[in-house]
Structure 1
Amino acid sequence: MSETFLKRHDRPGPRDAEAAGLRWLAAADGVAVCPVLAVQDDGLLLRRVVGVAPTAAAAEAFGRDLARTHAAGADRFGAPPPDLDGDGWIAALPLPMTTGPTGWSAFYAEQRLRPYLRAARDAGHLTAADAEVVEAVCERLLAADLPGGPSAPARLHGDLWSGNVLWSSEGAVLVDPAAHGGHPETDLAMLALFGLPHLDRVLAAYAEAATLQAGWRRRVPLHQLHPLLVHTVLFGAGYAGQAVRAARETLAL
């Protein structure tokens, strides 16, 4: 019998969002996800992933599989998993979802940057001057003045930092998603934010399996801006400098 573990959730919202996200990602038949065995009042019963050291071959397979997950798509930018009612969660924070069609730039500005910009500013983690730099990115997005918008929404993990990629004997396994419809470059930028083993092999394999738009590497700071703002809200001003640098690099595009 496979080993299991109970991931405890004190609140039903994050528990249900995580379960819905894992099921939706699994349905893409791309990257493996940690299977949800049961949704319980006290959390999620999951299959335990026995970790191994990542290899270059596993990293390349992950890149190809991630391209398939993204290609499974979503109904719209900001769409939640189909069996999730309402907004999602990223870490301990609510993650807004859209209720109708919208372009990616407007979605990213209004649903991914501004809510966390306001929260970071209100908590005193961003100065007024720093907040203006991030707001300038939002204004350029709303004016469709930044390159690289996708033609269709991808099926994103949404919180794809290295700690949410587990390496098993059968390859990469994803955990703890903030799944939604979005820009494929967002997941790729998140992988680079805190360092992933063999990242260059992951990206090369992804690029062989999917078409990346010209200049995608220059847009990494734009896509890292959301998680950096989330970290600023959660952990304080120590992340504010990184967020503002990402905003300034974006404004230089």
Structure 2
Amino acid sequence: MTIADDGAVALGHRVAAVTGGSPRGVPRRLTGGDICDAYRVRLDDGRTVFAKVRDGAPADFFTIEAAGLDLLRATGTVTVPEVLAALPGLLVLGWADPGEATAAQAERLGRQLAALHATPAPRYGTDGPLHLGTLRLTSGATPVDEPADWPVWHATHRLLPLLAMAVDNGGIAPEDARDVTRLCERVEDVAGPPQPPAVIHGDLWSGNILWTADQRPQLIDPSAQGGHPETDLALLDLFGCPHLDRLLAAYQELRPLPHRAPRIPLHQLQHLLAHAVLFGGGYGRRCGETARRALAARP
């Protein structure tokens, strides 16, 4: 048995202990995760579960993720994995067999997202911290729930803190940082009509959609909060999403969003800034370009 196998065996026993059972065989390491290690774990009662581990993670890292999944599930609009255990360094979820990203699944998800975004949230952000990847987000001390206050709240509690981190670690050049700052100063001019806070996934790039064999797409790895629905839609477009045109068409049948295109850069900027913090390089340049596109699209 290799050292890696030995660690997986120990993980299997830990997962079994918190889910009530015994492991069957050695957990299988899964590919695709950048932040956490992921495993498929089989149990002797016939169940298969999904386990995520991250050494050195903050104690609340997975409990916050589990709370986000519970928040999405409570809306009754979207499908998310069942949370079986959320502990320091370990998250155990129900298993779903992956499948092809079909147009039918995309349309179904579009309708589900429209219903999700029709779910009111009490305020923008959350009462506690969130994670965007490994980055910790806060909402500030004062609850904000007025639709007209979202642009300044977003700039103050999302864009500018990430920009400061990117500047500090050299992830963005001064001229690009200057244009992001300029956008934040004029954010009310580019944000469009006020939108009441709604429950959003908060990190809905295409990698956080699990296309399943039973044609019931699941949302995973949320940064769930009260926010602006156009953020979720803009993120689907950021790195490409299968059948996005069908997804958006199904969404807009239930929840039309006229004149959304000019606002897409604003809603993508937070995630590009997070990438500039984590990875630097070309992401800093993309932040500057995105800020300039948002400013150029002002009515």
Shorter-normalised TM-score: what interval? over 0.9
**Matching of residues 9-48 of structure 1 within 5 Å:** 9=54, 10-48=57-95
Distance (whole Å) between structure 1 residues aligned to residue 47 and residue 287 of structure 2: 41
Q: Take 2:288 and 2:110, find their aligned partners in 1: how far apart are those partners?
A: 29
Greater shift after overlay, 170-179 or 6-15? 6-15
Does the CA-based 8 Å contact 2:79-2:217 persist in structure 1? Answer: yes
1:209 to 234, 249, 254: 254
Identify the residue that residue 136 of structure 2 maps to in structure 1: 94
How far has the Cα of 1:151 moved from its partner?
A: 2.8
Quick check: 2:176–2:289 contact (8 Å CA) kept in 1? no
Distance 1:116 1:110 in 2: 10
- Matches of residues 72-151 of structure 1 in structure 2 within 5 Å? 72-78=119-125, 80=126, 86-98=128-140, 99-101=142-144, 103-141=149-187, 144-151=188-195
Question: Would you say the 8 A contact 2:179–2:288 is kept in 1?
Answer: yes
Displacement of 1:44 after TM fit? 1.3
CA drift at 1:73:
2.1
2:273 is the alignment partner of 1:226: no
Whole-angstrom CA distance in 2 between matches of 1:90 and 1:145? 26
* Partner Cα distance (1:35, 1:170) in 2: 17
Provide the rounded CA distance (Å) in 2 between the counterparts of 1:112 and 1:40.
27
Deviations 1:184-225 (A, max 9, x none): 10000000111110000000001011131x320121111111
Corresponding residue for residue 290 of structure 2: 246
Q: Deviations over 1:136-195 (max 9, x none)?
A: 110002xx2224143311111100011100111132101100111111100000001111
The one-letter code matched in structure 2 to 1:59 is A
Q: Distance in 2 between matches of 1:14 and 1:73?
A: 25
State the 1:124 CA deviation.
1.1
Report the equivalent of 2:13: none
Aligned to 1:188: 233
CA contact (8 A) 1:104 1:149 kept: no
For the residues of structure 2 that align with 1:23 and 1:29, how far apart are their CA atoms?
Answer: 10
Instruction: Determine the C-alpha separation between the residues in 2 that align with 1:31 and 1:87.
Output: 23
Deviating beyond 3 angstroms after TM superposition, the runs of 4 or more aligned structure 1 residues are none
Structure 2's unaligned 5+ residue stretches are 1-45
Residues 222 and 41 of structure 1: CA distance in aligned 2, closer, same or farther (over 3 Å)? closer
Asked whether the 8 Å contact 1:105–1:149 carries over to 2, the reply is no
- CA distance in 2 between counterparts of 1:167 and 1:53 reads 6
The one-character-per-residue Cα deviations of 1:101-143 (angstroms, maximum 9, x if unpaired) are: 25110111011100110000111111222111000110002xx
Contact 1:190 1:224 in 2 (8 A): yes
Residue 232 of structure 1: how far off its partner (Å): 0.5
Check the 8 A contact 2:234/2:267 in 1, yes or no. yes
Cα deviation, residue 19, structure 1: 0.6
TM-score (normalizing by structure 1): 0.92
Distance in 1, matches of 2:95 and 2:264, equals 32
- Give the TM-score, by structure 2 length: 0.79
Q: RMSD of the TM alignment (CA)? A: 1.4
Q: Return the alpha-carbon distance in structure 1 between the equivalents of residues 228 and 47 of structure 2.
A: 35
Give aligned pairs, total. Answer: 245
**2:215 matches 1:170:** yes
Name the CA shift for 1:4/1:133 in 2 (closer, same or farther; >3 Å).
same
Q: Please say if residues 17 and 88 of structure 1, whose CA atoms lie closer than 8 Å, have aligned partners that are also in contact.
A: yes
Secondary structure at the aligned position of 1:208 is classed as helix
The equivalent residue for 1:199 is 244
Which structure's relative contact order is higher, taking Cα pairs within 8 Å and 6+ residues apart?
Answer: 1
Larger Rg: 2
